[in-house]
Protein backbone atom coordinates (compact mmCIF):
# COMPACT_ATOMS: atom_id res chain seq x y z
CA UNK A 1 0.00 0.00 0.00
CA UNK A 2 1.24 3.48 -0.87
CA UNK A 3 1.31 6.32 1.59
CA UNK A 4 -2.12 7.02 3.09
CA UNK A 5 -3.58 10.49 2.49
CA UNK A 6 -6.53 11.33 4.74
CA UNK A 7 -9.90 12.74 3.72
CA UNK A 8 -12.32 13.49 6.55
CA UNK A 9 -15.88 14.38 5.62
CA UNK A 10 -19.40 14.16 7.01
CA UNK A 11 -21.50 12.17 4.51
CA UNK A 12 -21.06 9.53 1.83
CA UNK A 13 -20.81 11.61 -1.40
CA UNK A 14 -18.94 14.59 0.14
CA UNK A 15 -15.71 12.98 -1.08
CA UNK A 16 -16.99 12.79 -4.65
CA UNK A 17 -18.51 16.28 -4.70
CA UNK A 18 -15.35 17.95 -3.49
CA UNK A 19 -12.38 15.78 -4.29
CA UNK A 20 -13.15 12.88 -6.63
CA UNK A 21 -10.47 13.79 -9.15
CA UNK A 22 -7.85 14.56 -6.50
CA UNK A 23 -8.48 11.19 -4.86
CA UNK A 24 -8.31 9.31 -8.16
CA UNK A 25 -5.12 11.17 -9.06
CA UNK A 26 -3.49 10.22 -5.73
CA UNK A 27 -4.47 6.59 -6.22
CA UNK A 28 -3.07 6.62 -9.76
CA UNK A 29 0.20 7.99 -8.40
CA UNK A 30 0.46 5.00 -6.07
CA UNK A 31 -0.71 6.68 -2.89
CA UNK A 32 -3.48 5.29 -0.69
CA UNK A 33 -6.36 7.70 -0.12
CA UNK A 34 -8.20 6.83 3.10
CA UNK A 35 -11.61 8.24 3.99
CA UNK A 36 -13.26 8.85 7.34
CA UNK A 37 -16.98 9.68 7.23
CA UNK A 38 -18.62 10.91 10.39
CA UNK A 39 -22.11 9.70 9.41
CA UNK A 40 -23.65 7.06 7.18
CA UNK A 41 -25.89 9.66 5.58
CA UNK A 42 -29.22 8.30 6.82
CA UNK A 43 -30.82 11.77 6.80
CA UNK A 44 -30.13 12.20 3.09
CA UNK A 45 -32.50 12.15 0.14
CA UNK A 46 -34.35 9.00 -0.78
CA UNK A 47 -34.52 8.91 -4.54
CA UNK A 48 -35.40 5.98 -6.76
CA UNK A 49 -34.80 2.60 -5.18
CA UNK A 50 -34.33 4.24 -1.75
CA UNK A 51 -37.74 5.94 -1.82
CA UNK A 52 -39.31 3.68 0.83
CA UNK A 53 -36.22 3.18 2.95
CA UNK A 54 -36.24 3.65 6.71
CA UNK A 55 -33.35 5.57 8.23
CA UNK A 56 -31.55 2.33 9.02
CA UNK A 57 -32.11 1.01 5.52
CA UNK A 58 -30.91 4.26 3.98
CA UNK A 59 -27.74 4.10 6.08
CA UNK A 60 -27.07 0.59 4.76
CA UNK A 61 -27.83 1.68 1.19
CA UNK A 62 -25.47 4.61 1.44
CA UNK A 63 -22.65 2.53 2.90
CA UNK A 64 -23.03 0.22 -0.13
CA UNK A 65 -23.09 3.18 -2.51
CA UNK A 66 -19.96 4.48 -0.82
CA UNK A 67 -18.21 1.15 -1.43
CA UNK A 68 -18.95 1.49 -5.13
CA UNK A 69 -17.70 5.10 -5.25
CA UNK A 70 -14.57 4.07 -3.34
CA UNK A 71 -13.85 1.47 -5.97
CA UNK A 72 -14.25 4.02 -8.74
CA UNK A 73 -11.93 6.48 -6.99
CA UNK A 74 -9.33 4.02 -5.74
CA UNK A 75 -9.93 4.76 -2.06
CA UNK A 76 -7.92 2.24 -0.06
CA UNK A 77 -10.02 2.30 3.13
CA UNK A 78 -13.38 3.81 4.10
CA UNK A 79 -14.29 4.13 7.76
CA UNK A 80 -17.68 5.26 9.06
CA UNK A 81 -18.02 6.67 12.55
CA UNK A 82 -21.79 6.24 12.30
CA UNK A 83 -22.64 9.37 14.24
CA UNK A 84 -26.18 10.73 13.70
CA UNK A 85 -26.60 12.39 10.32
CA UNK A 86 -27.81 15.97 10.63
CA UNK A 87 -26.90 16.07 14.32
CA UNK A 88 -23.11 15.94 14.36
CA UNK A 89 -23.02 19.08 16.46
CA UNK A 90 -24.73 17.12 19.26
CA UNK A 91 -22.16 14.31 19.43
CA UNK A 92 -20.10 14.13 22.61
CA UNK A 93 -17.07 16.29 21.91
CA UNK A 94 -14.51 14.03 23.56
CA UNK A 95 -15.84 10.98 21.76
CA UNK A 96 -15.74 12.77 18.40
CA UNK A 97 -12.26 14.20 18.90
CA UNK A 98 -10.83 10.87 20.07
CA UNK A 99 -12.31 9.09 17.04
CA UNK A 100 -10.69 11.56 14.66
CA UNK A 101 -7.34 11.36 16.45
CA UNK A 102 -7.49 7.57 16.35
CA UNK A 103 -8.09 7.60 12.57
CA UNK A 104 -5.25 10.03 11.86
CA UNK A 105 -2.81 8.10 14.02
CA UNK A 106 -3.87 4.70 12.69
CA UNK A 107 -2.63 5.70 9.22
CA UNK A 108 0.14 8.03 10.47
CA UNK A 109 -1.20 10.64 8.06
CA UNK A 110 1.13 13.38 6.89
CA UNK A 111 -1.59 15.01 4.79
CA UNK A 112 -5.17 15.62 5.93
CA UNK A 113 -8.04 17.17 3.94
CA UNK A 114 -11.40 18.32 5.33
CA UNK A 115 -14.02 21.06 5.03
CA UNK A 116 -13.21 24.63 6.02
CA UNK A 117 -14.68 26.12 9.17
CA UNK A 118 -17.83 27.21 7.30
CA UNK A 119 -18.38 23.65 6.09
CA UNK A 120 -18.27 24.85 2.49
CA UNK A 121 -22.01 25.54 2.62
CA UNK A 122 -22.68 26.13 6.34
CA UNK A 123 -24.02 22.59 6.77
CA UNK A 124 -23.68 21.98 10.55
CA UNK A 125 -22.37 18.43 9.94
CA UNK A 126 -19.67 19.74 7.59
CA UNK A 127 -18.75 22.41 10.12
CA UNK A 128 -18.52 19.81 12.89
CA UNK A 129 -16.12 17.44 11.09
CA UNK A 130 -14.01 20.46 10.11
CA UNK A 131 -13.88 21.62 13.71
CA UNK A 132 -12.88 18.24 15.14
CA UNK A 133 -10.35 17.49 12.40
CA UNK A 134 -8.74 20.88 12.96
CA UNK A 135 -8.77 20.37 16.72
CA UNK A 136 -7.19 16.93 16.30
CA UNK A 137 -4.38 18.27 14.13
CA UNK A 138 -3.73 21.22 16.44
CA UNK A 139 -3.96 19.07 19.60
CA UNK A 140 -0.37 17.95 19.38
CA UNK A 141 -1.60 14.36 19.58
CA UNK A 142 -1.27 13.65 15.85
CA UNK A 143 2.46 14.18 15.40
CA UNK A 144 2.58 12.64 11.92
CA UNK A 145 0.50 15.42 10.37
CA UNK A 146 2.43 18.03 8.41
CA UNK A 147 -0.34 19.63 6.40
CA UNK A 148 -4.04 20.28 6.87
CA UNK A 149 -5.96 21.37 3.78
CA UNK A 150 -9.45 22.77 3.56
CA UNK A 151 -11.69 22.51 0.56
CA UNK A 152 -11.91 26.10 -0.64
CA UNK A 153 -15.36 27.56 -0.07
CA UNK A 154 -17.11 30.54 -1.56
CA UNK A 155 -16.91 32.47 1.70
CA UNK A 156 -13.16 31.84 2.00
CA UNK A 157 -12.72 33.07 -1.56
CA UNK A 158 -14.71 36.17 -0.74
CA UNK A 159 -12.40 36.78 2.19
CA UNK A 160 -9.49 36.73 -0.23
CA UNK A 161 -8.11 33.22 0.27
CA UNK A 162 -6.55 31.76 -2.85
CA UNK A 163 -6.34 28.04 -3.59
CA UNK A 164 -3.03 26.38 -2.74
CA UNK A 165 -3.76 23.46 -5.01
CA UNK A 166 -6.26 23.02 -7.84
CA UNK A 167 -7.42 19.99 -9.77
CA UNK A 168 -9.05 20.58 -13.13
CA UNK A 169 -11.74 17.92 -13.50
CA UNK A 170 -12.22 18.17 -17.26
CA UNK A 171 -9.94 15.30 -18.28
CA UNK A 172 -11.25 12.96 -15.60
CA UNK A 173 -14.84 14.21 -15.52
CA UNK A 174 -16.21 10.79 -16.52
CA UNK A 175 -14.55 9.29 -13.42
CA UNK A 176 -16.00 11.96 -11.15
CA UNK A 177 -19.42 11.50 -12.75
CA UNK A 178 -19.21 7.74 -12.19
CA UNK A 179 -18.35 8.23 -8.52
CA UNK A 180 -21.22 10.70 -8.11
CA UNK A 181 -23.58 8.29 -9.88
CA UNK A 182 -22.53 5.53 -7.47
CA UNK A 183 -24.35 7.56 -4.80
CA UNK A 184 -27.56 6.73 -6.63
CA UNK A 185 -29.95 7.58 -3.81
CA UNK A 186 -28.62 11.17 -3.83
CA UNK A 187 -28.72 11.72 -7.57
CA UNK A 188 -31.35 14.47 -7.55
CA UNK A 189 -29.29 16.60 -5.17
CA UNK A 190 -26.15 15.84 -7.14
CA UNK A 191 -27.66 16.87 -10.46
CA UNK A 192 -29.11 19.97 -8.86
CA UNK A 193 -25.52 20.98 -8.08
CA UNK A 194 -23.60 19.70 -11.12
CA UNK A 195 -26.38 19.55 -13.69
CA UNK A 196 -26.73 16.52 -15.98
CA UNK A 197 -23.71 14.37 -15.12
CA UNK A 198 -23.23 13.43 -18.78
CA UNK A 199 -22.28 17.04 -19.46
CA UNK A 200 -19.01 18.51 -18.18
CA UNK A 201 -19.98 21.39 -15.85
CA UNK A 202 -17.76 24.31 -16.81
CA UNK A 203 -18.84 26.30 -13.73
CA UNK A 204 -17.94 23.40 -11.37
CA UNK A 205 -14.73 22.69 -13.18
CA UNK A 206 -12.16 22.89 -10.36
CA UNK A 207 -11.58 21.07 -7.13
CA UNK A 208 -9.81 23.70 -5.03
CA UNK A 209 -7.92 23.27 -1.78
CA UNK A 210 -6.30 25.77 0.53
CA UNK A 211 -3.55 24.96 2.98
CA UNK A 212 -4.78 25.95 6.44
CA UNK A 213 -1.87 24.62 8.50
CA UNK A 214 1.62 23.41 7.71
CA UNK A 215 3.90 22.26 10.57
CA UNK A 216 2.68 24.93 12.97
CA UNK A 217 2.16 27.74 10.51
CA UNK A 218 -1.41 28.85 9.80
CA UNK A 219 -2.52 29.93 6.35
CA UNK A 220 0.92 29.64 4.73
CA UNK A 221 0.37 31.55 1.54
CA UNK A 222 1.72 29.45 -1.30
CA UNK A 223 0.81 27.54 -4.43
CA UNK A 224 1.64 23.90 -4.93
CA UNK A 225 1.71 21.42 -7.76
CA UNK A 226 1.32 18.41 -5.46
CA UNK A 227 0.03 17.78 -1.95
CA UNK A 228 3.45 16.23 -1.33
CA UNK A 229 5.33 19.49 -1.97
CA UNK A 230 7.62 20.46 0.92
CA UNK A 231 6.94 17.41 3.09
CA UNK A 232 9.80 16.35 5.31
Residue 67: CB minimum distance to Zn ion, A: 18
Three-class SS of residue 164? coil
Residue 33: CB minimum distance to Zn ion, A: 18
Q: Please, which residue, 192 or 198, has the CB nearer to Zn ion?
A: 192
Torsion of CA 79, 83, 84, 90, to 10 degrees: -140
Residue 157: CB minimum distance to Zn ion, A: 19
Q: Please, which residue, 14 or 42, has the CB nearer to Zn ion?
A: 14
Q: Please, which residue, 91 or 142, has the CB nearer to Zn ion?
A: 91
179 contact partners, CB below 8 Å, separation of at least 6: 15, 16, 20, 24, 69, 72, 73
Q: Please, which residue, 193 or 219, has the CB nearer to Zn ion?
A: 193
For binding to Zn ion (CB under 5 A), which residues are involved?
A: 10-11, 14
Q: How far apart are CA 225 and CA 209, in angstroms?
A: 11
Residue 50: CB minimum distance to Zn ion, A: 16
Nearest in space to 115 (alpha carbons), one of 154, 167, 68, 160: 154
Amino acid sequence: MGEPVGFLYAHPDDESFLSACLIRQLADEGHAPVLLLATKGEAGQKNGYAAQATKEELAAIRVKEMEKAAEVLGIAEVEHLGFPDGKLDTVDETLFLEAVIRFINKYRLRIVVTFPEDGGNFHPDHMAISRFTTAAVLSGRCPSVQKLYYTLSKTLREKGYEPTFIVDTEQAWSVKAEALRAHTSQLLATEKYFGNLNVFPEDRRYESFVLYWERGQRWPSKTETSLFDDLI
